[in-house]
Structure 1
Amino acid sequence: MLNTDETVPTSTRTEGATWMIRARFRMPLREDLWVNELSSAFSEATFRLLTGVPKDDHALELGEVQAADAETVVTAIRDHPDITAYEPVHQDETRAVGQYKVADQGLYEFLWQSSLPPEFPVVVENGTMEFDLTTSREQFEAFCEALNETKQHYQLLSVVHTEDEDPILTSRQRECMTVALSRGYFEVPRDCTLAEVAAGLNIDKSTASETIRRGTARVLRQFLVGAE
């Protein structure tokens, strides 16, 4: 059931254009899921399902944990009876990435019931997951109706519509901001400097600064103001 003050924005459709909906949802996880149990036990940790696929009687997933003591959380994941195999990909004090096999496919029941699977990553904190959808307005409305019919509680955190011919970011802005995001430039405190972002893009520091500044402004205008 919808639990939000958000409404789907309306606009006059430009002739020949296709409006796309970008929406972010939050909803509680099923109580018997392992990730619900562990994210509730480690309420300050963030779990990210980077990708996953159901296969036979289990699911294969690639997940990330961010926590003050990542090792303790990873140990709990390894020891959970629903996790039948775990292979580390990366681990340091506060972040761990691992590939694992899950005996319970309950998380994917939501995917099977919907013709619009959530986009990865799916973020889980304290028993609640957040995910994004990008789809047509008609499919978005059908998706929300299906959630309401199943009495699934959810929050609609944001809704933005845009024409597919007019993306929010230019390709160069998207490239710069993706590199900056992946390297931790937007973290507080920052994990890298502007000079390091520029070096990763093989451009000068002033160009990186201007591109990121313009890209950030466009994203903020779109999400805080909406399509004009």
Structure 2
Amino acid sequence: MLSVRLRVRFSGDWTERIGELRLKGDIYTATLHERQYRGFIRIRGEGVDEAIGMIEDAEYHTDVTVVRRTSRDGTDRASILVEAHLEEQTPYLLLLENGFMPLDPTILADGCEFFDLFVRDRERFIELVDLLEPIANVTIERVISDIDAPIQPSPVSWQQLSTTITDRQFEAIERATDLGYFSVPREATLTDIADEMGIDKSTAGEHLRRGLGHMAAFFVEESRFS
């Protein structure tokens, strides 16, 4: 069994176009039956309204409903339900029609979709890449051999964590990671993180501690049921 992550850029699609915007998102879950598609999309950051417009403009979307639109800590968020009839091949359609099972959620970043899958063997993996390459640009992000399927937190648990950690707490963790604050030896200080965030050192430290505290509590609690 192989654990595979693929970066897929579907040229001209809304998933590529929103890569121009400074936001994060995912296709949280999706269903497909006889080419009738329904997906639940979550996006946050700058340019949310523009991204919604791009999603609405996708030719294959037959209905786009903004289920929720909020702003928290200065960050815009939207949850969107889309319905579509997929007459032309898309990466997701191709995967399902050929017996592959992408794991939810599908991350949206840098104009690409990131698909995580379990694949039976290398021959099946080669088949997967060969199927996708005629319609999309495919980059192999990760292939891990001979693993058992891990016990993972449920999507509901992840959702609870994502609503507990504020955007500023997440930003502090993200900046700390990128700057090498958690490296051994340490490559950055709290002052560096604070400068990147445009806040004072004590506030940056508080955001970082609170965010890490939420994450630690989450993983400790989840481990008790694994």
Given the two structures, how large is their TM-score scaled by the length of structure 1? 0.58
* Aligned residue among 104, 109, 112 for 2:86: 104
3-state SS of the aligned residue for 2:170?
coil
1:35 is matched with: 15
Report how far residue 102 of structure 1 moved: 2.1
- Separation in 1, partners of 2:218, 2:109: 32
Structure 1, residues 70-107: CA drift from partner, whole Å, max 9, x if none?
A: 12322332344433212222222422111111243532
Contact 1:53 1:61 in 2 (8 A): yes
Contact 2:18 2:51 in 1 (8 A): no
Give runs of aligned pairs for residues 1-228 of structure 1, distance below 5 A.
20-29=1-10, 31-36=11-16, 38-40=17-19, 42-56=20-34, 58-93=36-71, 94-104=76-86, 106-107=89-90, 108-135=92-119, 139-150=120-131, 152=133, 153-161=137-145, 164=148, 174=153, 178=158, 179-181=160-162, 183-184=164-165, 187-189=170-172, 193=210, 197=214, 208=217, 211=220
- Separation in 1, partners of 2:61, 2:36: 10
3-state SS of the aligned residue for 2:26?
strand
Q: 1:127 is matched by which residue type in structure 2?
A: G
Contact 1:39 1:47 in 2 (8 A): no
CA root-mean-square deviation:
3.9
- Separation in 2, partners of 1:100, 1:78: 9
Fraction of identical pairs, as percent: 13
Contact 1:84 1:102 in 2 (8 A): yes
Structure 1, residues 171-210: CA drift from partner, whole Å, max 9, x if none?
A: 8xx58x8454553377223689369849xxxxxxxx8389
Structure 1, residues 39-75: CA drift from partner, whole Å, max 9, x if none?
A: 25x3433341112223455421111122313123223
1:220 is matched with: none
Report how far residue 132 of structure 1 moved: 0.8
3-state SS of the aligned residue for 2:101?
coil
Contact 1:59 1:104 in 2 (8 A): yes
Contact 2:161 2:218 in 1 (8 A): no
- Separation in 2, partners of 1:109, 1:79: 19
Q: Which runs of 5+ in 1 are unaligned?
A: 1-19, 199-206, 216-228
Higher helix residue share: 2
Number of residue equivalences: 175
- Separation in 1, partners of 2:145, 2:114: 19
Q: Structure with the greater relative contact order (CA < 8 A, sep ≥ 6): 1 or 2?
A: 1
Structure 1, residues 102-129: CA drift from partner, whole Å, max 9, x if none?
A: 2435323322453222111112334321
- Separation in 1, partners of 2:132, 2:36: 27
Contact 1:70 1:92 in 2 (8 A): no
